[in-house]
Amino acid sequence: MQLGKLAIFLPLWLLCLSQAHVIGVSPEDQHLYSAKIDEDGNQYWTCLNDSSIKLQLSQINDDICDCPDGSDEPGTNACPDSAIKFYCANQGHFPAYIEQFKLNDGVCDYDICCDGSDEYQLGTCENKCDEIHRQFETYKAEQLQILNKALKKKQHVVDLSQRNRKSLINNLEHLERQVPEKKMKLNKLKIQMEDVELQEDTPDLYDILDEHFANLANRIEAYKRDILKQDEQLQKLEKILEELSKGYNPNYNDHAVKESIHKFQEYISNKEDGVQKDFHDITEFVKKIVENAKEHSINIELTGNGNINNDKSKSKSKSKHYDGVPSLKNMIHYYFNLFAQNFLIKTPETYVSKLSSNQLAPEIDKLEEELEKIEKTITVIKKDLSSDYGPDDILRAYEKLPISNNLGGYYYRVDFLNSIYQNDVLIGVFKEYKEGKLIFANGARCWNGPKRSATVEFICGEGPAIVSVAEPEKCHYNFVIRGEAWCHPVSEQELLQSFEIDYNLL
């Protein structure tokens, strides 16, 4: 105000006396207007953006624009294109800068210059800084109270989004842990399947030896018959000789007869009992071998020549080997060897599934399906976790919390990170979060127009709520959603910008 009054009585050039206060310039910038002294001891000043333009001190704020940047007229509106603004000290409130065209125009711009200094020439604007500052303090207190409440609510939202993220991570870890276990199980099943298929394809050893055993039994029977026949004949012969030895006439002194009878008697006294008991049991013995073979039967491979080939038979390569058809003498030995080589060798401890290939196949399919599903879910979760869902992952909190509102005759439903509907028309599916906005695309096609799409912006306030929907272009919608999650701590300067003076109270 004092400046204003001064201005009424003093010529303009006095407003820029050397080292004096230059009107319209902040205290920090006053030094830019200090006088320079030339060789002749005269004071001068140069334009701020062009030091080649020398001016007399009286040319500062003389209402004539001399400098290209308007720096010689900080306190007048003589330079219309100047970017320089007029400084209001606003003692008791906040200093501010006002556009020069608003200077001395008869309007008190209290929203910028609460001290009325913008009208310093007329001096008609009273200093209202005290009242305006009081109003601002009240506004600030109210706003901070609202904001603190909102920030507390925001903290809950942030906590929820972090919990949602954590549960996704837990889910991911749980699934990832299952993969190696399931893969191992699948591998085992596949190996079992191969073994079982091989087993099902290869003949049973018993089946192969069955023929040999039948052959053995037949041969034994035939030899038995031969032996019994020979035994019968032998007994007949023995009977003849016995009768001869009893009925011959020793007086004939036939040396050959005497000698033969003597040998026969010797033969009889040394003779063992007819056919051995073991011989009669031989059929029983073969039967037992066959039963044993059935019990311990295993699967083996046949070589091209029909011989049995497995690792066990290889390991017995030192055992006695018989070629061709065995004789009665070695027959038992032959067949026992064959049996022992193939049945009586302990098999290595290998696991062969009790399940058939028909039972294993669906188990393998099921496990493969499970694994595929798990791996797909892992990919989806990883993509989700690496997606940008806003600062503090905030949108994750609203993942399953759609909001709706009736606006402009339509019912809108916004399902964050999913879709937006206008009544039952799809406006779009979530595409991305970009530069603080949600982008939805690929909605239902408009009649004779593009597919519907939308952009969602957020503002701080009570919510979450859809506060407005606009359709600036045909079928592209702009949504504004208000919510505490989009509130931030504010500075005094920010509050000052949103502050509005109640002129009724001035």
Specify the residue, 147 or 427, whose C-beta has the smaller distance to ligand MAN. Answer: 427
Of 471, 492, 494, 502, the one binding ligand MAN (CB under 6 A) is 471
Part in contact with ligand MAN (CB under 6 A); list of ranges 145-153, 247-255, 276-284, 469-477: 469-477
Pairing of strands 476-483, 410-415: unpaired
Specify the residue, 57 or 475, whose C-beta has the smaller distance to ligand MAN. Answer: 475
Question: Is residue 424 a contact residue for ligand MAN (CB under 6 A)?
Answer: no
Minimum distance from residue 435 beta carbon to ligand MAN (Å): 25
Reading the block at residue 58, the tokens are 């009286």
Specify the residue, 232 or 471, whose C-beta has the smaller distance to ligand MAN. Answer: 471
Site string for ligand MAN, 282-321 (x = CB under 6 A): ----------------------------------------
Query: Length of the chain in residues, anyone?
Result: 506
Nearest to 114 by CA among 410, 393, 505, 400: 505
Part in contact with ligand MAN (CB under 6 A); list of ranges 4-12, 77-85, 323-331, 468-476: 468-476
Of 100, 422, 453, 455, the one binding ligand MAN (CB under 6 A) is 422
Question: Is residue 469 a contact residue for ligand MAN (CB under 6 A)?
Answer: no
Of 31, 80, 447, 500, the one binding ligand MAN (CB under 6 A) is 447
Question: Is residue 9 a contact residue for ligand MAN (CB under 6 A)?
Answer: no
Question: Is residue 446 a contact residue for ligand MAN (CB under 6 A)?
Answer: yes
* Residue 167: partners with Cβ closer than 8 Å, 6 or more residues away: none
Give the rounded distance of the alpha carbon of 253 from its chain centre. 118
Specify the residue, 105 or 471, whose C-beta has the smaller distance to ligand MAN. Answer: 471
Specify the residue, 4 or 428, whose C-beta has the smaller distance to ligand MAN. Answer: 428
Minimum distance from residue 443 beta carbon to ligand MAN (Å): 9
Minimum distance from residue 404 beta carbon to ligand MAN (Å): 16
Give the rounded distance of the alpha carbon of 234 from its chain centre. 93
Closest residue to ligand MAN: CB criterion: 446
Contact yes or no for 85/73 (Cβ under 8 A):
no
Tell whether the torsion through CA atoms of 60, 66, 72 and 76 is positive or negative: positive
Q: How many residues of this chain bind ligand MAN (CB under 6 A)?
A: 7
Specify the residue, 19 or 423, whose C-beta has the smaller distance to ligand MAN. Answer: 423
Specify the residue, 237 or 446, whose C-beta has the smaller distance to ligand MAN. Answer: 446
Specify the residue, 203 or 408, whose C-beta has the smaller distance to ligand MAN. Answer: 408
Give the rounded distance of the alpha carbon of 131 from its chain centre. 60
- In the chain, the amino acid numbered 170 is N
Q: How many helices (H) and strands (E) does the chain have?
A: 9, 15
* Residue 13: partners with Cβ closer than 8 Å, 6 or more residues away: 57, 58, 59, 60, 61, 62
Contact yes or no for 481/488 (Cβ under 8 A):
no
Tell the burial category of 489 from Cβ atoms under 10 Å away from its Cβ (0-12, 13-18, 19+): exposed
Distance CA 118, CA 88 (A): 7
Nearest to 152 by CA among 491, 492, 495, 485: 485
Of 96, 189, 475, 481, the one binding ligand MAN (CB under 6 A) is 475
> Which neighbouring-strand residues pair with 44?
36
Reading the block at residue 284, the tokens are 């029983």
**Residues near ligand MAN (CB under 6 A):** 422, 425, 446-447, 471, 474-475
